[in-house]
Chains A and B, each alone.
Chain A
Amino acid sequence: MISTEQNIDKRLIAILEQVSDPEIPVLSIMDMGVVRSAVIEDDIVNVEITPTYSGCPAMDVIGDDIKKALKDAGYQSNIDLILHPAWTTDWITPRGRKALEDYGIAAPLDAEADKDVLLNGKRIVKCTNCGSQNTRLVSQFGSTACKAQFQCDDCQEPFDYFKCLK
Chain B
Amino acid sequence: MKNGNLYNYILGIADNSLILGQRMGELCGHGPSLETDIACTNISLDLFGQVRSYFQYASKIAGDGRTEDDIAMLRKERDYKNVLLVEQPNTDFAYTLGRQFLFDVYHLAFLKELQKSTDLTLSAIANKCVKEVSYHERFSSDWVKRLGDATDESKEKMQTAINDLWTYTDELFHQTEADKTMVAEGIGVDVTKLKDSYYREVSQILEEATLQVPESKYFQKGGKQGIHTEHLGYILAELQYIQRAYPNMEW
Binding site for B on A (CB under 8 A): 51, 53-57, 83-87, 118-119, 138-145, 149, 163, 165-166
Contact B50 A55 (CB under 8 A): yes
Contacts of B47 in A (CB 8 A): 55
Contact B53 A83 (CB under 8 A): yes
Contact B48 A55 (CB under 8 A): yes
B129 CB-CB contact with A under 8 Å: yes
Contact A139 B39 (CB under 8 A): yes
Contact B39 A86 (CB under 8 A): no
8 nearest CB pairs, A to B: A55-B49, A54-B49, A84-B124, A139-B35, A141-B39, A55-B45, A141-B42, A83-B124
Q: How many whole Å from A77's CB to the nearest CB in chain B?
A: 20
In the complex, 14 of the A-B residue pairs with CB atoms within 8 angstroms, ordered by the A residue number, are A54-B49, A54-B53, A54-B132, A55-B45, A57-B45, A83-B121, A84-B124, A84-B128, A86-B131, A140-B39, A141-B38, A149-B38, A165-B131, A166-B131
Contacts of B125 in A (CB 8 A): 83
Produce 1/0 per residue, B110-135, CB < 8 A to A: 00000000001101110111011001
Partner of B127, one of A57, A83, A138, A142: A83
Contact A138 B35 (CB under 8 A): yes
Contacts of A86 in B (CB 8 A): 124, 127-128, 131
A87 to B124, CA, bound (A): 11
Q: Binding site of B, secondary structure by majority: helix, strand, loop or mixed?
A: helix
Binding site for A on B (CB under 8 A): 35-36, 38-39, 42-43, 45-50, 52-53, 120-121, 123-125, 127-129, 131-132, 135, 138-139, 142
Partner of A142, one of B38, B48, B50: B38
Contacts of A142 in B (CB 8 A): 38, 42
With A54-B129, A85-B127 known as contacts, the answer to whether A143 contacts B46 (CB < 8 A) is: no
Contacts of A165 in B (CB 8 A): 131
Q: A140-B39, A141-B35, A145-B45 given; name 7 further pairs at CB < 8 Å.
A: A51-B49, A83-B128, A86-B128, A139-B39, A141-B38, A141-B135, A144-B42
Contact B48 A143 (CB under 8 A): no
Contacts of B132 in A (CB 8 A): 53-54, 145
Q: How many whole Å from A140's CB to the nearest CB in chain B?
A: 5
In this complex, which of A57, A139, A143, A163 has the most chain B Cβ atoms within 10 angstroms of its Cβ?
A139
Contact B124 A145 (CB under 8 A): no
Residue in chain B with minimal CB distance to A138: B35
Contacts of A145 in B (CB 8 A): 42, 45-46, 132
A139 to B42, CA, bound (A): 12
A71 to B195, CA, bound (A): 53
Contact B48 A163 (CB under 8 A): no
Partner of B49, one of A56, A85, A149, A163: A56
Residue in chain A with minimal CB distance to B17: A54
A84 to B48, CA, bound (A): 18
Contacts of B131 in A (CB 8 A): 86, 165-166
Q: How many whole Å from B146's CB to the nearest CB in chain A?
A: 12
Contact A84 B127 (CB under 8 A): yes
Contacts of B45 in A (CB 8 A): 53, 55, 57, 145
Q: How many whole Å from A135's CB to the nearest CB in chain B?
A: 16
A165 to B139, CA, bound (A): 15
Q: How many whole Å from B53's CB to the nearest CB in chain A?
A: 6
Contact B128 A54 (CB under 8 A): yes
Contacts of B53 in A (CB 8 A): 54, 83
